Amino acid sequence: MQSIGKRIYDGRTRRTSNLSVEQTCIGCGLCAKKCPVHAIEMQHKHLVWVKDRCVMCLGCLHRCPTFAIQCGPNTKRHGQYLHP
């Protein structure tokens, strides 16, 4: 039997498929600077995920000052984790 972790992170799936960026993105690059696996690149002030590297920690989502990064349709409802 295949474990859930293996199915999610087996390399064949696009891990970033649920991630999107809204027009409220100001291109500050904070998400790219804070990504622990360097899975975000800024290209002409636009965010681009390097899908091979992303581990779905959602640090980018929670650190975005304008809450422009979304993970699925209910992200706004769940809010952000703001570390003290």
Please state, in angstroms and rounded to a whole number, the distance separating the CA atoms of residues 6 and 8. Answer: 5
* Statement: residue 5 has pLDDT above 70: no
Tell me how far the alpha carbon of residue 35 is from its chain's centroid: 9
Query: Counting Cβ atoms within 10 Å, is residue 54 exposed (0-12), middle (13-18) or buried (19+)?
Result: buried
- pLDDT value at position 29? 94
Q: Could you tell me the pTM of the whole model?
A: 0.72
Give the pLDDT confidence of 37-56 residue by residue, as tens digits: 999 999 998 889 887 888 88
- To the nearest whole number, what is the mean pLDDT of the chain? 81
Q: According to CATH, what is the number of the domain 4-78?
A: 3.30.70.20
- Name the pLDDT band for 64 (thresholds 50, 70, 90): very high
Pick from 17, 31, 33, 35: nearest CA to 71: 17
Q: Which one is predicted more confidently, 33 or 1?
A: 33
The residue ranges of every structural domain in the chain are: 4-78
User: How far is residue 63's CA from residue 30's CA, in Å, rounded to a whole number?
Assistant: 7
